[in-house]
Amino acid sequence: MLWDYFLILQYLIIIFGIASQCLLIHYLVLKPALQSCARTCIAILSISMIYVLLFYGCETLVCLITGTMFVEKVCTEQLGKLLLYCIREYFQVVIVQSHLTFTIERLISIKSPELHKKPKFRLYFHRVLLMEQLFALFFTFAHYYYPEIFNGAWQIVFHFLIIVNWPIVIYTKKTCRSMYKVYNVEFYDLARKHELYKAYEITKSLVTALIANAIQQMLTFLFVGLQYQGLLFSKTDYYKTLFILHMLWNSNFAIFAWILLLSHRSSRLKILAASQPKISITSIDGTNITQMPTQQEYFRELRIAWS
């Protein structure tokens, strides 16, 4: 009975994670608040996370059809489960690579803004993204056909990319902050300072996301260690520990989205404004008064008043 509640919680986490990533796409990708390369990286990350959550939910559904909610042998033997797992693994590789690419792109935008603005940079940047997709595809197929070799290789590559990303993110944040604090306009004009501020917002949120991810990784190692010592479940019931770990991993996707949303000032203000009730103010004759009119709305009201 308890595991039924865990199953419901798992699907609630999946739904909340997908909704969070959709909000991230809406506020940071579809809006021109960031540079195109940064928006591309966030889009790849968000879409990949959505697919990971979606396909994991479908995998669990396949297992439920076979009579179990866990990744037991009767479930893993299903062709549909295997296909969904391979697709999910592909997007997991994409996520790990895109995190590192996003960090390096932010560092280049801060240290070499002129290079970052060149069309040739965007061309090479998109080529790198394409190579990452091909590598993820190759790794997924190789892992499927040669699991005895690539099981260990996946763990090495996965943790290597995560660990390498940490110092780069921290260095990028410190560099951006130190450059932004230079108030002399002889060094940076106002447009450049605004770019640095936006870059600092993103890198600060990435550092926060890394901290959250590090906590999740430590919890993962804790659960794996406890399971290895037989302190959680019996060794034949290791799939129960795996189910709990997937809850942690899936919740991390939602946490990542909200860290970026709330750390970025423009998206945070839009979310707060959308959550507050709109108060309508009318004049004596009953017409609505715009509290913070744009220039176009201001002149339109003037024309109406003068007519």
Look up residue 80 and give its amino acid.
G
- What pLDDT, on a 0 to 100 scale, did the predictor assign at position 104? 87
Using one digit for the tens of pLDDT, what is the confidence trace for 54-80? Answer: 999 999 999 888 888 888 778 888 888
Answer with the residue of higher pLDDT: 211 or 58.
58
Helices 190-228/238-263 angle, 10° precision: 170
Q: Hey, what are 220's tokens?
A: 């993962």
219: exposed, middle or buried (Cβ count in 10 Å: 0-12, 13-18, 19+): middle
Which position has the token pair 């995560």?
Answer: 162
Phi, psi angles (nearest 5°) of residue 232: -100, -70
Domains of the chain as residue ranges with CATH:
2-279 (1.20.1070.10)
Instruction: Find the DSSP H helices in the chain.
Output: 2-24, 36-66, 73-76, 79-111, 113-117, 119-145, 147-180, 190-228, 238-263, 265-275, 295-306
Beta partners for residue 288, in sequence order = 282
Region for 182 from its dihedrals, namely left if φ exceeds 0, alpha if ψ lies in -120 to 50, beta otherwise: beta
Please report which confidence band the pLDDT of residue 278 belongs to, taking 50, 70 and 90 as the band edges: low
Please report which confidence band the pLDDT of residue 157 belongs to, taking 50, 70 and 90 as the band edges: confident
Beta partners for residue 282, in sequence order = 288
Give the closest residue to 227 by CA, choosing from 211, 208, 245, 209. 245
d(CA 280, CA 291): 9
Answer with the residue of higher pLDDT: 119 or 71.
119
Please report which confidence band the pLDDT of residue 238 belongs to, taking 50, 70 and 90 as the band edges: confident
* pTM (2 d.p.): 0.80
**Which DSSP string corresponds to 91-118?**
HHHHHHHHHHHHHHHHHHHHH-HHHHHS
d(CA 100, CA 128): 12
Q: Hey, what are 133's tokens?
A: 């997709």
Whether the per-residue pLDDT at 47 is higher than 70: the answer is yes
